[in-house]
């Protein structure tokens, strides 16, 4: 039917035009996929990844400042210089993290950061007022400190947590998109290869020539143009997927664990500061420790993080954190036994001690271990994204050259055959 309607030269021209369009479409689709994937990887390494780390630092600094201020207050006078300096360092880090986060924040995050920036001076003012009364031995200081801690827990930390959650959502969305399989590119490439094979069959039947050198070369170029982006994009997707599975998912668990531990540390001090009226703080402490390691020390966030960790070294650090949390619970119970038994001053002395068997030492080991595990997980996210970007390096230029070569080979394959009919 077609042979009766279309003369052979016109048929060859139509086939040539179709093959050229397919070649250009395949190259353009592969190039678009590479550009999109590269943009996502750039966002992970330059924007969403650092924003997530900055949000972690902001939340950690605020929570640690609250816990440190409460612990320092228990000294009933001039607090130890080390605790004072730690509190000041936390506030300085939080302020710096706020400034950095504002640089890359969207509208929603900017609103949260503005709220944090407005309320942080209010918090520090309340803490300074509490310190002033405490240095004078006046009980009103405890009320100001509880008000400061309430502001931290009800306004500042929730805003910081929302910022972290938003940054993590952006990071995970970018990772999921970058980890997608390039199905459209693969399908279009296969259609192009199939069309080239069909064109060679057509020429073989009409010219009695088994091979057309131009179309054979075009088929080889098409296979290379199909294989290179498919393999590169698939490998990059696997690397980004590993970054999500072994990095950002673990970061979320560990960040929750550190947040929980820091809140429990503040609860421990606030229970004593309340002097008999701290049942709510003690209940919250128990809830935080239960969430962290479970009621028996064998479940909770840290167990889930250990199960998620991809390497033995990660699991060892997380197990170290679990052991420190169990030690902390036991030492906290000694503090509570003293306080409940009427030995308030001894309970305070035990809670604020800095020796190797103190609650502070156990918490310090817990916080240090979780922080190390978080740093490793954050680096893994960045490294996997960087590795994926390296896999795509040179692909864009290669696709342009391969597409040009494919078009040229098709034209060279059909041009002599069309010329035979002039």
Give the DSSP letter string of 163-211: HHHHHHHHHHHHHHHHTS--HHHHHHHHHHHHHHHHHHHHHHHHH--S-
- Calpha distance 259→264 (Å, rounded): 9
The number of beta carbons lying within 10 Å of the beta carbon of residue 275 is: 12
| Contact criterion met (CB below 8 Å) for 58 and 167 | no
Six-digit token string for 92: 């300085």
| List of residues 6+ apart from 3 with CB closer than 8 A | 11
The number of beta carbons lying within 10 Å of the beta carbon of residue 344 is: 14
- Calpha distance 39→53 (Å, rounded): 20
- Calpha distance 305→237 (Å, rounded): 24
The alpha-carbon radius of gyration of the chain (Å, integer) is 32
State the pTM of this model: 0.78
Q: What is the pLDDT along the chain (422 residues), one digit of tens a residue?
A: 444 467 777 888 888 899 899 889 988 988 888 888 888 888 887 777 787 888 888 999 999 999 999 988 887 667 788 889 999 999 999 999 888 887 777 777 788 888 888 999 999 999 999 999 988 888 888 899 999 999 999 999 998 888 888 888 888 888 778 777 778 888 888 898 899 888 888 888 877 766 778 888 888 888 888 888 888 888 888 888 777 777 788 888 999 999 999 999 999 999 998 887 889 999 999 999 999 999 988 899 999 999 999 889 999 999 999 999 999 999 999 999 999 998 999 998 998 888 899 999 999 999 999 999 999 988 888 888 888 888 888 888 988 998 999 889 888 888 877 766 65
Q: What is the pLDDT of residue 304?
A: 94
* Calculated CA dihedral for residues 317, 301, 178, 161, nearest 10 degrees: -110
| Contact criterion met (CB below 8 Å) for 173 and 106 | no
| Contact criterion met (CB below 8 Å) for 392 and 38 | yes
**Which DSSP symbol is given to 296?**
T
| Contact criterion met (CB below 8 Å) for 61 and 160 | no
């Amino acid at each position: 039917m077609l042979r009766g309607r279309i003369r052979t030269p016109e048929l060859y021209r139509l086939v040539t035009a179709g093959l050229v369009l397919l070649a250009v479409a395949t190259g353009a689709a592969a190039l678009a996929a590479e550009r999109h994937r590269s943009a996502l990887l750039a966002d992970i390494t330059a924007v969403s990844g650092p924003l997530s780390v900055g949000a972690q630092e902001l939340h950690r600094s605020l929570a640690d400042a609250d816990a440190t201020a409460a612990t320092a207050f228990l000294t009933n006078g001039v607090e130890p210089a080390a605790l004072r300096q730690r509190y000041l360092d936390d506030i300085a880090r939080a302020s710096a993290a706020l400034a950095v986060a504002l640089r890359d924040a969207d509208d929603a995050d900017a609103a949260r950061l503005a709220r944090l920036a407005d309320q942080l001076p209010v918090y520090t003012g309340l803490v300074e007022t509490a310190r002033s009364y405490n240095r004078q031995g006046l009980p009103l200081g405890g009320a100001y400190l509880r008000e400061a801690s309430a502001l931290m827990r009800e306004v500042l930390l929730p805003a910081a947590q929302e910022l972290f959650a938003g940054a993590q959502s952006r990071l995970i969305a970018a990772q999921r998109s970058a980890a997608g399989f390039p199905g459209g590119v693969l399908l279009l490439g296969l259609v192009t290869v199939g069309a080239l094979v069909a064109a060679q069959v057509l020429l073989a039947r009409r010219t009695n020539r088994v091979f057309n050198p131009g179309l054979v070369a075009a088929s080889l170029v098409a296979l290379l143009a199909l294989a290179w982006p498919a393999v590169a994009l698939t490998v990059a997707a696997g690397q980004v997927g590993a970054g999500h599975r072994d990095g950002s998912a673990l970061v979320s668990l560990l960040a929750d664990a550190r947040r929980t531990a820091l809140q429990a540390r503040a609860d421990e001090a606030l229970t004593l500061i309340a002097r008999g009226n701290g049942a709510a703080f003690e209940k919250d402490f128990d809830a935080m420790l239960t969430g962290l390691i479970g009621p028996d020390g064998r479940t909770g966030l840290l167990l889930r993080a250990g199960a998620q960790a991809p390497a033995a070294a990660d699991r060892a650090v997380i197990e170290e954190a679990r052991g420190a949390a169990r030690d902390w619970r036991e030492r906290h119970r000694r503090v509570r036994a003293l306080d409940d038994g009427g030995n308030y001053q001894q309970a305070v002395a035990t809670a604020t001690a800095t020796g190797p068997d103190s609650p502070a030492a156990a918490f310090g080991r817990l916080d240090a271990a979780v922080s190390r595990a978080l740093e490793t997980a954050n680096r893994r996210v960045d490294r996997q994204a960087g590795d994926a970007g390296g896999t795509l390096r040179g692909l864009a230029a290669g696709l342009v050259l391969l597409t040009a070569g494919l078009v040229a080979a098709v034209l060279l394959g059909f041009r002599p055959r069309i010329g035979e009919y002039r």
